């Protein structure tokens, strides 16, 4: 059974940093694209980033490019999202999802809440 | 990349069919057959119900079907049931190698 479990969310001040992690199981992690998607409170879904199975290719939404870094450790079946220069508008539930194709989310975790506030 | 356009809400009675539209551009929906649809119940994670325009994942009811014409994709739910009441989002792969989501549609079962 495919499982992805996010962690690392919390309260951070504007301009601060946070690293999210996503532990995966139930599939061949190194063979699959992984993605991050976020959802601001009461709002719709926003695609954030994706990474190829090898980790060699990464993709970002314009809204986070230059501030967020996606990475993965295939030896630990874990996906990461390093978030720097956080802004109030980054407040959201962040979902990790196993990917389909290059960047499309497929199977989603339950999410972790990030709140950017002073 | 602008969000794909969906109606804010669609409603129907049990047993009826409803269709949700998802309008994009020639840079996303119209460019590839990589449109997905997600169902999200309150306080739950999204779940894919259609991918690659019209493919249903294993375990998803055959009451869900998808199609596309030009820059507009559609999700049809036939034989509407109470459990179908949820938010639905479309998404599409884009020519910029990113993914773009729709604005979301709240489905109400009357």
Q: Which residues of chain A neighbour B43 with C-beta distances below 8 Å?
A: none
Suggest the residue from A3, A27, A44, A96 to mutate for an interface test with chain B (most B CBs closer than 10 A). A44
Q: How far apart are CA A74 and CA A53, in angstroms?
A: 8
Ranges under pLDDT 70 in chain B = none
Q: Identify any residues that bridge with B95 across adjacent strands, giving them in sequence order.
A: none
Residues of chain B contacting residue A46, judged by C-beta atoms under 8 Å apart:
101
Q: Which tens digit of pLDDT belongs to each residue from B1-18? A: 799 999 999 999 999 999
Question: Which pLDDT band, with edges at 50, 70 and 90, does A20 fall under?
Answer: very high
C-beta of residue B38 within 8 angstroms of C-beta of residue B14: no
Chain B residues lying within 8 Å of A3, measured CB to CB: none
Beta bridge partners of B92: B35, B100
Question: Does the beta-carbon distance from B99 to A110 stay under 8 Å?
Answer: no
Pairing of strands A3-7, A58-60: unpaired
Partner-chain contact A44 B99, CB within 8 Å: no
- Report the 10 Å Cβ neighbour count for A75: 8
């Amino acid at each position: 059974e495919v499982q992805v479990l996010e962690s690392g969310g919390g309260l951070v001040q504007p301009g601060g940093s946070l690293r999210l992690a996503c532990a995966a199981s139930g599939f061949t992690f190194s063979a699959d694209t992984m993605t991050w998607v976020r959802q601001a409170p009461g709002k719709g879904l926003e695609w954030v980033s994706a990474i190829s199975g090898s980790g060699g290719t990464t993709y970002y939404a314009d809204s986070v490019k230059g501030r967020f870094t996606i990475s993965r450790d295939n030896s630990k079946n874990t996906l990461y999202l390093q978030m720097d220069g956080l802004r109030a508008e980054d407040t959201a539930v962040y979902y990790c999802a196993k990917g389909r194709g290059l960047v499309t989310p497929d199977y989603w975790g339950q999410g972790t809440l990030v709140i950017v506030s002073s | 990349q602008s969000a794909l356009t969906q109606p804010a809400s669609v409603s129907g009675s049990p047993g009826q069919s409803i269709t949700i539209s998802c309008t994009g551009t020639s840079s996303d929906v119209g460019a590839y057959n990589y449109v997905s649809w997600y169902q999200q119940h309150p306080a739950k994670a999204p779940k894919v119900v259609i991918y690659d325009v019209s493919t249903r994942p294993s375990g998803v009811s055959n009451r869900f079907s998808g199609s596309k014409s030009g820059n507009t994709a559609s999700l049809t739910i036939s034989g509407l049931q109470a459990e179908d009441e949820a938010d639905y989002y479309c998404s599409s792969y884009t020519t910029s190698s990113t993914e773009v989501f729709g604005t979301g549609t709240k489905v109400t079962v009357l």
